[in-house]
Amino acid sequence: MKRRVVITGFGLVTPCGNDVATTWAAMLRGESGADYIKKFDTEKFSVKFACEVKDFDPLNFLDKKEARRMGAFTHFALAASDEAIKHSGLEVNDSNAEMIGTYISSGIGDFWAIEREHDKLLAGGPDRVSPFFIPQSIVNLAAGNVSIRHGLKGPNTATATACAAGAHAIGDSFRMIERGDADVMVCGGAESAITPMSVAGFASMRALSTRNDDPKKASRPFDAERDGFVIGEGAGIIILEGLDFALARGAKIYAEIVGYGMSGDAFHITAPDETGSGPTRVMQKAMKDAGITPEQIGYINAHGTSTPYNDKYETLAIKKTFGEHAYKLAVSSTKSMTGHALGAAGGIEAVFSALALHENVLPPTINYEFADADCDLDYVVNEARQQSVEYVLSNSFGFGGTNACLIFKRYEE
């Protein structure tokens, strides 16, 4: 018998709000978090907009000395983790700390620290580089700082699997609790990579939308006129607990996680497999793990990046996985509103998936105007939909052909 694992808390920092309530309300209103970049001068850039986190001040929960020692992605992770732990009512003490862990992943870590300290090295030599540069920038320091802040002495780890990193963190945490390595995991993803080098690099790859005249309509997953993703940032954290542990402490349960799949395309460093093989296999593996049939899935929170190839081949994979049922289930991409938060995306979208189950409402794919013959599913276009479903599937795919799939279920005692 597998140990059942449930969700008892959420935390978010996104371009649409710095907490769960604000972000979720914006999702249901169909509001875009895109705008012109404020973090740096974009005069010489071909892409001048992004989905930046707004009005976020780490000094609201850290003192100035602490904040300076951390990267921006760690600030986001700490804020979202604080909210999630408070939301769950979890109390860490000497009797349980060794079975409570943290697994917070990132695709890049802190690009800001890398660029800033490199400039200091070139301008003033090696003695100018900050002693905090390494702990500011490396990927596992988000999890490390959350562990230190809350006294979490269980597993403390991170992965850097590009845009699947947040989903891998949640899936791996699910496995840890299933097999008894932890009772509780604070898990998800965090990213802060809207920097000159990052934007220039993604633009050079022609991965970003260039809709500079209308940023809020630039992210348009599955639309025939999509031209690239909009880079985002933030953090999405959930609290996973063994059902026995959650019930024993009287926790409120929002959803259950029941399936996790991983696969590799073995195809190309950045392009998706044109047969949809990797995404097809990862969805099949997750459903097998959950012990359910394709017909039981009611909603898919798609990877849906708004790039020409991703949306086409993810749609193909859904049709190959679900057959005729593909036309009966609802699909949406919340990246149409948050942008693509890279390693944080899987964590953010796990929160949305669980909230969709708990509140019986499906967030929309906004900016959908022109149908694409290759993308012909029910994408919950432009307006949220009141609908009760039993199972939600969430996809996350990353460069290098790495894929993750999570399945959430409506909680039943």
Residue 163 among the catalytic residues = yes
Residue 340 among the catalytic residues = yes
Query: How big is the CA angle at 295 (ends 238 and 311), to the nearest 5 degrees?
Result: 65
For helices 165-178 and 345-359, give the axis angle rounded to 10 degrees.
Answer: 60
Cα dist from 256 to 165, 241, 251, 267, 395, whole Å: 20, 9, 13, 33, 17
Q: Radius of gyration (Cα) for the chain, nearest Å?
A: 20
Say how far apart CA 55 and CA 394 lie, in whole Å.
29
Of 51, 168, 340, 405, the catalytic one is 340
φ/ψ region of 52 (left if φ > 0, alpha if ψ in -120 to 50, else beta) reads beta
Of 75, 87, 150, 303, the catalytic one is 303
- Supply φ then ψ for residue 298, to 5 degrees: -105, -25
What is the DSSP code (8-state) at residue 272?
Answer: P
Cα dist from 200 to 43, 80, 352, whole Å: 12, 28, 30
Pairing relation of β-strands 156-157 and 100-105? parallel
Q: Which residues of 370-379 are buried (b: 16+ CB within 10 A; e: fewer)?
A: eebeebebbb
Q: How far does the chain reach from its first CA to its final CA, in angstroms?
A: 16
Task: Tell me the two tokens of residue 158.
Answer: 């991170």
* Structure-token match 């859904």, residue found: 318
* Structure-token match 């013959």, residue found: 373
Q: Under a CB-based contact definition with an 8 Å cutoff, are residues 53 and 233 in contact?
A: yes
Of 163, 187, 375, 405, the catalytic one is 163
Question: Smallest Cα–Cα separation from 311: which of 374, 262, 381, 233?
Answer: 374
What is the DSSP code (8-state) at residue 306?
Answer: S
* Structure-token match 């953090």, residue found: 235
Calculate the CA 173 to chain-centre distance: 15
Q: Under a CB-based contact definition with an 8 Å cutoff, are residues 276 and 314 in contact?
A: yes
Residue 405 among the catalytic residues = no
What is the DSSP code (8-state) at residue 191?
Answer: E
Query: Residue 30 burial by CB count (10 A; 0-12/13-18/19+): exposed, middle or buried?
Result: middle
Q: Under a CB-based contact definition with an 8 Å cutoff, are residues 241 and 184 in contact?
A: yes
Q: Which residues does the annotation mark as catalytic?
A: 163, 303, 340
